[in-house]
Structure 1
Amino acid sequence: SGHSRSKNDTATAKMAPSMGSFNLVMAQSLWDATMAYSIFEYWKKNKKKKIFQVNGRFHSDEGFAVVTQLKKYSPKTKVLIISTGSDDAFPKIDWSKLTGLGDFIIITDPSVPRTYKE
């Protein structure tokens, strides 16, 4: 899956080849924990509302990261993950490789020009 964290502890990472990479993973883990805390705090005050959180794939695919952290605060929280990306094999996508990324998976054609700059 490319993830270096477990569902049990998103703050634990395999040792990266450089300290810079390791620090990046730790920073992302802190972002995940902070976002989960913010979502939980909002939910406590607005229990009848549904919350829509948008983030990069690394922060939610396979139920990791923000999802894992949120489940620590509220284990019974229902989460729906929409994973998006492009695939060079489009439109002949091997969906079996994408199993488990999310509840819904949206794959786009990489030959279509992007409308934003990275």
Structure 2
Amino acid sequence: MTRSESVKTFFIKSVLPVAAALLLYCIFKSACMNGGELDYVWLWILCGLPFGLHRMCLWIIPDSGSLGGGIALFALNFIIGGVIGGFVLIWRLIVAAWYVPLTLLRMAKAL
């Protein structure tokens, strides 16, 4: 692997996920304040939405119910997508931490 490929992979696998997580944290931090305290569960769900909503394989669709039931199921879909995305976000951050020493090793080998 060449030096430029190592740097490109480092930015894609490490810098971009961390920057996205920090941006989402800054956006949703004020929305998750509850009584002066930060509600970490809702912050985790909201930050995971962009990472998990498109990974849901099954959407719960109301068959013949009321409008309130349909709205509740629609909200449940978003909550489930946020929980899935929270796990994906944690995994992406673990991979980002792993790529720091891996990139340093690759850069040392490229010399």
Q: What's the TM-score once normalised by structure 2's chain length?
A: 0.33
Structure showing greater radius of gyration is 2
Using CA pairs below 8 Å that are at least 6 residues apart, which structure has the higher relative contact order?
2
Give 1 or 2: higher helix fraction. Answer: 2
